[in-house]
Chain A
Amino acid sequence: MKRLWLLIFFFIFPLHCLAEDEIPQVTVIDAYLDIHSGAGRGYPIVRVVKQGEWITILKRKHSWFLIETSSGTQGWVKREQLERTLTRTGEQTLIAAPGLGDFSQRDWELAIMVGKLSGARTLEFSTLYYATANLGLEANYSIGLGSFSSTQTWGLGIQHQPFPSWRVAPYVGLGGGNMRIQPKATLVQGERREDSYAHAAIGLRSYLSQRFVLRLQYKEYLLFNDDDNNEEIKEWKIGFAAFF
């Protein structure tokens, strides 16, 4: 068994060496490159790298990169400065960063929103998949916490955005789902009920930065009660969404 492990080690070792070769190295083209002690503009510049020197990129934290100089010094460099370097093939370094262009071509969106549903505070989690640039399929779950009752809502819907490339993009939605209403334990009367509903929504997305969007939404629920006495509920929501 020991021999097997030894064998595995020797077989994997050269692969590991190869992986090390692929660690990105770049050379500085500006007069110098600032190295900060931490990943943030507030951390002091502790060293500089001179023009023509090679550096190795080790890891990334948001828009900052941990680099190592040829003398073994490590520190953090901002993305904008790191792009003022050349790769091994002599091309200028490019680091992909998500932007407004990605917003109009997003496939998935995850959102968390807070709001008011006829007096109760609500928290909603939703996932959206864009089948086309204009049309999205949304699944959502929300909790409503009011003075007299709490609600749980599951829903599915479709969303249409007529102008997907706009920075502030309006949308409309239609769908339906299930709402469970649970009266508070301290109240004597009232029993738990579960009703299905249909909804119509109108909203706005405003691109913030990177992969983040601000979302504002107004939704009207039509609850189908058992006693044929349909109920209309209005809801306002605001929240953040991340897209991928």
Chain B
Amino acid sequence: MENRFCRLFLVGLLLSNIAALQAAELQELGADAEVERREIHEALIDSENFEIGISGGLLSIEDFGSNTTLVARVAYHITEDFFAEGAYGQSEAGLTSSEQRFSSAPLMTDDERQFIYYNLSLGLNILPGEAFITSGKTFNNSLYVIAGVGVTEFAGEELFTINYGVGYRLLVNDWLALRFDSRDHVFNSDVVGQKKDTHNMEMLFGMTLFF
């Protein structure tokens, strides 16, 4: 059975190769003049408009201390100026100061302390230029401002969240970039009793790939 499969596979390869060789011969003879070549076929050019990556850093959850955070992101570069980005982040809330000081009953269960957010944002590249690491080595880089909307799951609730911030992208080469992000996630919550807009600041460092 295995033998038969192997033979079939090889025959298939041989046939495809003969066809390829014939095409190559035809091309050498100049018979490809009929082939449509007026337009550069887009499919032949590999486009790299997507950016995918992960970042790690610190998230300071208002009233609940700071904790490590991990974020996955996918971006689509619409033009040289604008990009749309979707992000998913995960962190965990610590104890409020009153919980620590008075060692009272915890405000939330461990499950409710999970801080998960997902959002969609629009970024604008500003101040593009070159960064000189040494006198002979330069890297392209740019700052960007970004803002968007999303959902935060925290304290057993889903909260409408606005995010905005500034970031920095250093292009190591054509397909690899280092990123530094600072973000503020704003949502209205009454977790600590009083209803208020909470600001949750995040600092991230990460790496992205273009494809």
Q: Which residues of A contact B (CB under 8 A)?
A: 4, 7-8, 11-12, 14-15, 17-18, 21-24, 26, 37-44, 57-66, 87-89, 91, 93-96, 112, 114, 121, 123, 143, 145, 147, 150, 184-186, 209-210, 212, 240
Complex formed: what's the CA distance from A65 to B48 in Å? 10
Contact: A94 with B78, CB < 8 Å? no
A147 to B38, CA, bound (A): 60
Q: Is the CB of B151 within 8 A of A123?
A: yes
Q: Which residue in chain A gives the minimum CB-CB distance to B126?
A: A42
Can you list 18 A-B contacts with CB-CB less than 8 angstroms, sorted by A residue number? A11-B13, A14-B24, A18-B24, A24-B40, A24-B41, A38-B128, A40-B142, A43-B128, A43-B130, A59-B47, A60-B46, A61-B210, A89-B37, A89-B38, A114-B149, A145-B159, A184-B157, A186-B157
Please determine whether B17 and A11 come into contact, CB atoms closer than 8 angstroms: yes
How many B residues are at the interface, by size bracket?
35 or more
10 smallest beta-carbon distances between A and B, as pairs:
A42-B128, A38-B140, A121-B160, A145-B160, A60-B47, A40-B80, A91-B38, A59-B46, A94-B39, A11-B13
Q: How far is the CA of A57 from the CA of B43 in the complex (A)?
A: 12
Contact: B142 with A42, CB < 8 Å?
A: yes
Number of A-B residue pairs, CB cutoff 8 Å, is 128
Q: Which of B26-40 contact A (CB under 8 A)?
A: 27, 33, 37-40
Partner of B38, one of A62, A64, A94, A114: A94
Contact of A15 (CB < 8 Å), options: B16, B127, B210 = B16
Known A-B contacts A15-B17, A18-B23, A89-B38; the reply to A40 vs B47 at CB < 8 A is no
- The yes or no answer to B98 lying at the interface (CB within 8 A) is no
Q: Are B37 and A4 in contact (CB under 8 A)?
A: no
* Residue among B17, B21, B49, B122 facing the most chain A CB atoms (10 A cut-off): B17
Query: What A residues does B97 contact at CB under 8 A?
Result: none
A102-B210 Cα distance, complex, nearest whole Å: 26
* Chain B interfacial positions (CB closer than 8 Å to A): 6, 10, 13-14, 16-17, 20-21, 23-24, 27, 33, 37-42, 44-49, 77-80, 84, 120, 122, 125, 127-130, 138, 140, 142, 149-151, 156-160, 171, 174, 188, 190, 195, 210
Q: Are the CB atoms of B47 and A26 closer together than 8 Å?
A: no
Chain B, Cβ-Cβ closest to A186: B190
| Chain A: CB-nearest residue to B195 | A147
**In the complex the two chains form, is B47's CB within 8 Å of A11's CB?**
no
Given A43-B129, A89-B37, A186-B190, check contact A22 B158 (CB 8 Å): no
Q: How many angstroms from the CA of A12 to the CA of B84 in the assembled complex?
A: 39
Helix, strand, loop or mixed for chain B's interface? mixed
Which residues on B sit within 8 Å (CB–CB) of A37? 130, 138, 140
Known: A15-B20, A40-B128, A58-B46. 17 other contacts (CB 8 A): A14-B17, A21-B24, A24-B45, A26-B40, A37-B140, A41-B80, A43-B129, A57-B40, A60-B47, A61-B49, A62-B78, A89-B38, A93-B40, A121-B160, A145-B151, A145-B159, A240-B84
Residues of B within 8 A of A150 (CB): 157-158
Which one, B27, B45, B77, B78, contacts A65 given CB within 8 A? B45
Q: Which residues on A sit within 8 Å (CB–CB) of B14?
A: 11
CB closest chain-B residue, reference A57: B45
Q: How far is the CB of B38 from chain A (nearest CB, A)?
A: 4
| Closest beta carbon of chain A to B98's beta carbon, Å | 18
> Could you tell me if B79 and A210 are in contact, using CB atoms closer than 8 angstroms?
yes
Measured between beta carbons, the chain A residues less than 8 angstroms from B158 are 143, 145, 150
Whether A62 contacts B138 by the Cβ 8 Å rule is no
Contact assessment for B40 and A210 in the assembled complex, using a CB-CB cutoff below 8 Å: no
Min distance, Cβ B137 to any Cβ of chain A, angstroms: 12
Q: Which residues of B contact A17 (CB under 8 A)?
A: 24
